[in-house]
Structure 1
């Protein structure tokens, strides 16, 4: 049970890999916000994805169609009987969703949960330090709940082939993930331009995806300042995964797609300007770097310096 956000969902993938490693015959279902349902589907150990639409439903509670969707969701999640229902999110909303499933509910102890009240919904509770990275917390909770030890580096378990998009350049490319949920997490546009021009001189095209209209407008504006850069057309999450899988590197702000790049083992530099990357920065087994932090803005030269080793 890990419903949102995109980065949180990606952080839960290694726990799925651990479960499959220790229980090869395990049948694993994952309840997730419908807008992020494509992420669990990238992991071959996930049998079924159960979409939930809390974000959309709470904005449309006056509509009869919303309540019909809620009723259908409750029937779907209660249709199977589980040996364990694990809530790795530790929020009241995720704990209440877990109560809809059939089986013993397992989750964080009150002192470990992001919302202590969520612990009242679980049959068994486990203490996991809140000072650990989110990926590590998810792995440790699943391990404690199912009785194994979470050893080794995190394995996200996703293996996506590079995409053969007709609009991609023939030169090697680097993906710029410029969009994020808050304006204070953005990296200055002048820095993106400087970095893109430097990469172009090294023989790499910059590809700039964007989700919303505002994000695509920013991508187009930045692409216009960088020689041979390209603002990507609207893309689904599986298509973005394929784009990232074929990239020589990815540079991204504090956004879920930056974590997806690391999950795919694409060399990644993550840029933080408003948050501390210590507990939620990128973490994986391939080349990855976290630069910046709260009220810290890394320079374009610093990012390029980190990338030299993988782009040489």
Structure 2
């Protein structure tokens, strides 16, 4: 008999990437699981990448909260409520543990599972679950999500995380370029320009061109300034998430600030280096099947030398794994 499961995890990009191994676990351990996923509309592409996700239900909370009582917003909320009211699930699993996810959860039908007060980021959320689970807070996000899903659905997971991203990586050839994510929404996450230039120089020494990602117009301007006059670098135009994922999947290496796209690169199996300055990698380290390095700590950015060393290690790893790469050879 089909077991209908609804996942509530609406944002953000990196957190959704961290969810994917739990989806793989559910598909592997729960016979005839039908997995639907409620997600913020701007990230709705991500669940579609995983073959085990049956249906994606978009929610526009970020857009709605700007005009919560506008007639258009009220109509959209009513449509979502009617949609959820028509569905019945065996299990509704809140993987976020926030009051904004509880707002969605309360409109669903099914046994509601979530984190207990000691485990949830917002303890008040735990009062709205029928079944509460304890998951150690201070451990990697991928592990937390896998543990919560296993506890809610009654299995023991094992093995390395499987992000289920073959729909992105299949048929993509690794090319001689590095993807760079030098921008962030907060200035306290930024890394010094001089350090970036050292990294760019090292990547060029390894024969790689640069493709820089950015989000807002301000981030695009910053990225352009970083590579001004560099003929081997380009700032990519804004693209949809699937198109960006394809670019990441074809890169020989990715170096970026702690961002959702950096975590996506790791999940796609590309050697990835994350630079942490305003956050801690204890709870959100980079995880993936290839080389990853989560460097720095809140208030203590990694030095250029530390990142350069990781770049060399990552590229040695990748050349060893792709010894037939044009111009490459396995390290001695």
TM-score normalised by length of structure 1 = 0.94
Cα deviation, residue 223, structure 1: 2.1
Cα deviation, residue 227, structure 1: 4.2
For residues 175 and 41 of structure 2, the distance between their equivalents in structure 1, rounded to whole angstroms, comes to 35
Cα deviation, residue 254, structure 1: 1.1
Give CA deviations for 1:219-269 in whole Å, capped at 9, x if unaligned.
Answer: 211121544111111111001100000000101111100110011001000
Residues 168-247 of structure 1: matches in 2 within 5 Å?
A: 172-247=176-251
Cα deviation, residue 300, structure 1: 2.5
Contact 1:273 1:293 in 2 (8 A): yes
Contact 2:224 2:235 in 1 (8 A): yes
- Secondary structure at the aligned position of 1:154 is classed as coil
Residues 152-167 of structure 1: matches in 2 within 5 Å?
A: 152-159=159-166, 160-161=168-169
Evaluate the alpha carbon distance shift between residue 268 and residue 24 of structure 1 in structure 2; reply closer, same or farther with a 3 A threshold: farther
Give CA deviations for 1:15-34 in whole Å, capped at 9, x if unaligned.
Answer: 10000011252110110111
For residues 275 and 54 of structure 1, the distance between their equivalents in structure 2, rounded to whole angstroms, comes to 25
Contact 2:271 2:314 in 1 (8 A): yes
In structure 1, which of residues 287, 293, 306 is the aligned counterpart of residue 291 of structure 2? 287
For residues 51 and 146 of structure 1, the distance between their equivalents in structure 2, rounded to whole angstroms, comes to 24
Aligned twin of 1:302:
306
For residues 198 and 287 of structure 2, the distance between their equivalents in structure 1, rounded to whole angstroms, comes to 26
Contact 2:133 2:151 in 1 (8 A): yes
For residues 310 and 61 of structure 1, the distance between their equivalents in structure 2, rounded to whole angstroms, comes to 46
Contact 1:193 1:225 in 2 (8 A): no
Matched, 1:50 2:57: yes
Matched, 1:131 2:135: no
For residues 180 and 162 of structure 1, the distance between their equivalents in structure 2, rounded to whole angstroms, comes to 29
Evaluate the alpha carbon distance shift between residue 163 and residue 151 of structure 1 in structure 2; reply closer, same or farther with a 3 A threshold: closer
Matched, 1:256 2:268: no
Aligned twin of 2:30:
23
Give CA deviations for 1:268-289 in whole Å, capped at 9, x if unaligned.
Answer: 0000012111111212232101
Contact 1:17 1:157 in 2 (8 A): yes
For residues 274 and 171 of structure 1, the distance between their equivalents in structure 2, rounded to whole angstroms, comes to 32
Matched, 1:90 2:97: yes
- Secondary structure at the aligned position of 1:35 is classed as helix
- Secondary structure at the aligned position of 1:291 is classed as strand
- Secondary structure at the aligned position of 1:276 is classed as coil
TM-score normalised by length of structure 2 = 0.88
> Which consecutive segments of 4 or more residues in structure 1 shift more than 6 A?
none
Aligned twin of 2:71:
64
Evaluate the alpha carbon distance shift between residue 96 and residue 272 of structure 1 in structure 2; reply closer, same or farther with a 3 A threshold: same
Evaluate the alpha carbon distance shift between residue 24 and residue 227 of structure 1 in structure 2; reply closer, same or farther with a 3 A threshold: farther
- Secondary structure at the aligned position of 1:148 is classed as coil
For residues 170 and 151 of structure 2, the distance between their equivalents in structure 1, rounded to whole angstroms, comes to 36
Contact 1:254 1:271 in 2 (8 A): yes
- Alignment RMSD (CA, Å): 1.8
